[in-house]
Structure 1
């Protein structure tokens, strides 16, 4: 793919800047728009909900009109939405624009994964996808950190203008480098529902979608409770919780840096099993109530283990259907987001009924078994396919 993979990675980074940008700005936006902070906090939901749901729409659209078209249009929509957000005159307007940005983001990363599935051979695909993953994680991480640092210099509206400028550069680069037409001619003849059914006829699809659902539930369900767990142990406030949680995306970036070597040394099955076991051991370490510095290290290792497994599952999703690849990736993303959404619903009652240690130990067992099961059910065939690619 040459320089195109770097342009796509930059587009993923730029679109992800907007996802967590609101979090550090809630008090300032609340005062400026004269509304309650609790309402402003809903701006994060306004982005996340359409991002999760509309992947199911953009997947089939990309199958029919081309991933390239979807990525370019969504990047433009993201840029326009970000620019308009900087000039929003009320909470309702800003809420609507966050929905627009979330919807646009839903068409960028999943379509990028499917596009890479179209263009990159299976034996090279995981290394390329790891770059997209690292760019997306970095955008999410720097989006929140940058907003907190920049707001004192340029106000919250200036933050949106800076992020919009980054998005505009990415959009211009996409129009310059990414062609508007698909390089392949295979297009699905069936309707959207039949496309989803076609993907599900592949027995490997059920394993993939259940696995990423359990991934999201077991790992991301913990994140909203980190501050509460630290506070209960007398381990500091939001700043310390932020440092601990930041270890997770940092681990993802570290994984991406060594992904090609891991693929070469461990193979697909080894990465699935190893990633699940490492993630499980990290959750178990958190269950023992370490000092916050120990939790921070555990979360870095958790990020490495989780993304080693998850990136392997992304590769599997691109192989479920060549014709309906966009639909397959969309179902993969939707399953993952559903697990993330239900995770806190499971963790909360778990902490109050069976306790913190038992809940985290159960989650550790779940993610470890997911990795081992995927290695057994998916790994051997993936190795064979990769070898023949």
Structure 2
């Protein structure tokens, strides 16, 4: 069957609030990896080991995942725009507190607080996007929302290294804090009077009904399992990229950063091409093609090409990853109408838990099986994931659809 013809991307009109949501995602994503390049300075200032300093990143990611179910429920109960504004303000304050920290424990506590705040931005942003845009245009709109977050991820680590050279790691946190507060004001102003559905009554009966609606949908178990596997197979690889390059004799950490940044560049390429590729391939084709592209790049990385080819592979992997991940986000947004933020936050929870388990799984595989078998096994899983998702995930109206 022929795919329906859609209007060209220039004709697809989205509410201006989509740009504000993208700004919010950008501001939150900047904080995710921004301290990684300046951790040696943090270690020197507090006279601790680099391993101890690196625990900041692990603590941030873990708390980000753990708060997702609570954040989503709060967004559905109290209002998505209101909660996202509060989280951005909290993120700004947490970053500034971190800049003022006089001990490592104080800095660590501020980053835990920042992880809670950042965890309340991106999934809520996806829920807001789904509220504002009809399902037929939603995948393209979500692509625009993700562009803000992916740009933040891309610039966060690279820009913070440059800023840190001039004004130190405390200066990095001050700038992040200021950007978070500016984004909070922008969201509060941009959504004042916006035509959004009023939040439901704040009680636990509403919350229970939201979870019941989500988990009664047959797509739920497939959707959440799939993003967990994605997190394991794709993001679980990232901590080992530098080590793979070291094995090839490429000792520059800057080169490792460039290679990893290729994934974010591929994600941005997805946002620019999704409106053209989606009508051509359809949702099922996007999931199959995305899983296949990721698998091919994992296979290529297994055999250790030079860093320039690895950058190209990571770029293609980012493009393929978001082809399948974007489809899963759309399915997650349709698990419930009244509890949409809860559904998106659970989606994010399983995704980040996959990212927590992934490095452990890769470490076990690399130690016991070696690089080539481990990456080829991961590639095979991604191929199967695309095929299974295309077969089992089907458009289904949630039980609370009006």
Q: Does the TM-score normalized on the shorter chain lie above 0.5?
A: yes
Residues 69 and 181, structure 1, Cα contact 8 Å, conserved in 2: no
Q: Single out whichever of 360-369 and 181-190 deviates more from structure 2.
A: 181-190
Query: For residue 206 of structure 1, what is the aligned residue in structure 2?
Result: 221
Deviation at 1:364, TM superposition (A): 0.7
Residues 68 and 180, structure 1, Cα contact 8 Å, conserved in 2: no
Residues 66 and 181, structure 1, Cα contact 8 Å, conserved in 2: no
* Separation in structure 1 between the aligned mates of residue 22 and residue 82 of structure 2, nearest angstrom: 17
Residues 85 and 185, structure 2, Cα contact 8 Å, conserved in 1: no
Query: For residue 112 of structure 1, what is the aligned residue in structure 2?
Result: 125
Normalised to the residue count of structure 1, the TM-score between the two structures is: 0.93
Deviation at 1:185, TM superposition (A): 4.3
Query: For residue 348 of structure 1, what is the aligned residue in structure 2?
Result: 363
Q: CA offsets per residue over residues 8-36 of structure 1, 9 Å max, x none?
A: 10111011111111111111122223333
Give yes or no for the alignment of 1:328 onto 2:351: no
What is the Cα-based RMSD across aligned positions, in Å? Answer: 1.9
* Alignment equivalent of 2:74, drawn from 54, 57, 61: 61
Sort the Cα spacing of 1:186 and 1:34 in 2 relative to 1 into closer, same or farther, 3 A: closer
Deviation at 1:307, TM superposition (A): 0.9
Residues 68 and 181, structure 1, Cα contact 8 Å, conserved in 2: no
Query: For residue 11 of structure 2, what is the aligned residue in structure 1?
Result: none
Residues 274 and 305, structure 1, Cα contact 8 Å, conserved in 2: yes
Structure 2 unaligned segments of length 5 or more: list them.
1-13
* Alignment equivalent of 1:307, drawn from 322, 338, 345: 322
Q: How does 1:33-182 map to 2 (within 5 A)?
A: 33-179=46-192
Residues 66 and 182, structure 1, Cα contact 8 Å, conserved in 2: no
Q: CA offsets per residue over residues 203-240 of structure 1, 9 Å max, x none?
A: 11111011111111111111111122222232334232
Sort the Cα spacing of 1:186 and 1:80 in 2 relative to 1 into closer, same or farther, 3 A: closer
Normalised to the residue count of structure 2, the TM-score between the two structures is: 0.90
* Alignment equivalent of 2:311, drawn from 296, 302, 306: 296
Query: For residue 242 of structure 2, what is the aligned residue in structure 1?
Result: 227
Give yes or no for the alignment of 1:26 onto 2:61: no
Sort the Cα spacing of 1:186 and 1:70 in 2 relative to 1 into closer, same or farther, 3 A: closer
Structure 1 unaligned segments of length 5 or more: list them.
none
* Separation in structure 2 between the aligned mates of residue 72 and residue 295 of structure 1, nearest angstrom: 39
Q: Secondary structure at the match of 1:221?
A: helix
* Separation in structure 1 between the aligned mates of residue 212 and residue 39 of structure 2, nearest angstrom: 42
Residues 67 and 182, structure 1, Cα contact 8 Å, conserved in 2: no
Query: For residue 230 of structure 2, what is the aligned residue in structure 1?
Result: 215
* Separation in structure 2 between the aligned mates of residue 351 and residue 78 of structure 1, nearest angstrom: 37
* Separation in structure 2 between the aligned mates of residue 31 and residue 239 of structure 1, nearest angstrom: 20
Q: Single out whichever of 153-162 and 249-258 deviates more from structure 2.
A: 153-162
Sort the Cα spacing of 1:112 and 1:180 in 2 relative to 1 into closer, same or farther, 3 A: farther
Residues 78 and 167, structure 1, Cα contact 8 Å, conserved in 2: yes
Segments ≥4 residues shifted beyond 4 Å: none
